[in-house]
């Protein structure tokens, strides 16, 4: 089995636990996920299976979209509803004021995520230190927030919003920062990821659906092909004459057209007679392999 599953992760389990269930389900050792989701968050979690795991470094996961709820009145040490309360306040902002403050969190912004984050210090995730009761200064980072669209008020002083952002953005920190800007402590009460690169929630399946498909022997047919999330890349097509070079993983000479259109250093999808064989990069007059995904029958 080689390809991707677009899994709709439920709240209450880790991304690693989803990988473990898919590994048991498929019997495939090479299984991984692209883009961690917090345990209490739900939504799109791309799962790489088999040879598709070699493509992790080439996936475009810069574009992500979330539906989130910020709840005013309490801030926590995890910046979400699972943490311990660190401050309280009852100066609840008016909805129009929240809308104005959300604009200040768009664009390139500086974030300092909390201790309960996957950011590493000395090779260890910060959340591991936090669980041991240790403290350390979390470094600031610049992240890009494309847009934050307010969706209305929710019960118990909540505000629903849709956030489009780049990788590495912590929605929990956006909610915490929103509370600071509005003068009332806030935390993230709800999070649903609806887009992760080429993967969207409308095509995601639950783990239960995946298990049912596997029992019927239909899961392999539902795998998304390895090149599905690579449409942003340039494409080089070769004919049967190049089969021996491609199968051997040798350098591939550029055609005249490729030489005109592919700059040095550009990652390129390589196809042989319409079949995807992997990713190569231009180096002078040749394409040099970076990740080879030979079709199964070869």
Instruction: Give the catalytic positions in this structure.
Output: 38
Beta carbons of 43 and 66 less than 8 angstroms apart: yes
Biggest alpha carbon–alpha carbon distance for the chain: 73
CA torsion angle for 91, 95, 100, 104 (degrees, to 10)? Answer: 60
Nearest Cα residue to 72 out of 7, 145, 157, 14? 157
- From first CA to last CA, the distance across the chain in angstroms is 14
Given a contact cutoff of 8 angstroms between Cβ atoms, the answer to whether 49 and 9 are in contact is no
CA distance 107 to 241: 49
Burial class of residue 46, CB neighbours in 10 A (0-12, 13-18, 19+): buried
């Amino acid at each position: 089995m080689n390809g991707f599953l677009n899994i709709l992760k439920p709240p209450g389990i880790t991304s690693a636990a989803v990988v473990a269930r898919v590994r048991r389900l498929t019997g495939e050792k090479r299984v991984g996920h692209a883009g961690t989701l917090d345990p209490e968050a739900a939504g799109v979690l791309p799962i790489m299976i088999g040879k598709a795991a070699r493509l992790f470094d080439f996936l475009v996961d810069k574009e992500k979209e979330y539906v989130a709820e910020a709840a005013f009145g309490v801030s926590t040490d995890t910046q979400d509803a699972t943490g311990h309360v660190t401050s309280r306040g009852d100066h609840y902002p008016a909805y129009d004021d929240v809308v104005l403050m959300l604009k200040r969190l768009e664009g390139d912004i500086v974030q300092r995520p909390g201790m309960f984050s996957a950011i590493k210090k000395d090779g260890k995730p910060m959340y591991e230190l936090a669980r041991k009761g240790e403290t350390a200064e979390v470094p600031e980072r610049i992240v890009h927030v494309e847009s934050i669209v307010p969706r209305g008020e929710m019960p118990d002083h909540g505000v629903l919003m849709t956030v489009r952002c780049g990788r590495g953005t912590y929605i929990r920190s956006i909610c915490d920062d929103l509370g600071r800007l509005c003068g009332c402590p806030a935390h993230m009460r709800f999070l649903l990821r609806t887009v992760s690169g080429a993967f969207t929630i409308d095509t995601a399946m639950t783990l239960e659906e995946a298990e049912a498909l596997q029992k019927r022997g239909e899961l392999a047919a539902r795998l998304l092909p390895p090149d599905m999330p690579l449409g942003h890349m340039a494409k080089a097509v070769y004919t049967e004459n190049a089969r021996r070079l491609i199968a051997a993983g040798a350098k591939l000479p550029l055609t005249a057209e490729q030489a005109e259109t592919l700059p040095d250093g550009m990652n390129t999808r390589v196809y042989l007679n319409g079949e995807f064989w992997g990713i190569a990069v231009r180096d002078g007059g040749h394409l040099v392999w970076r990740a080879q995904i030979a079709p199964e029958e070869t």
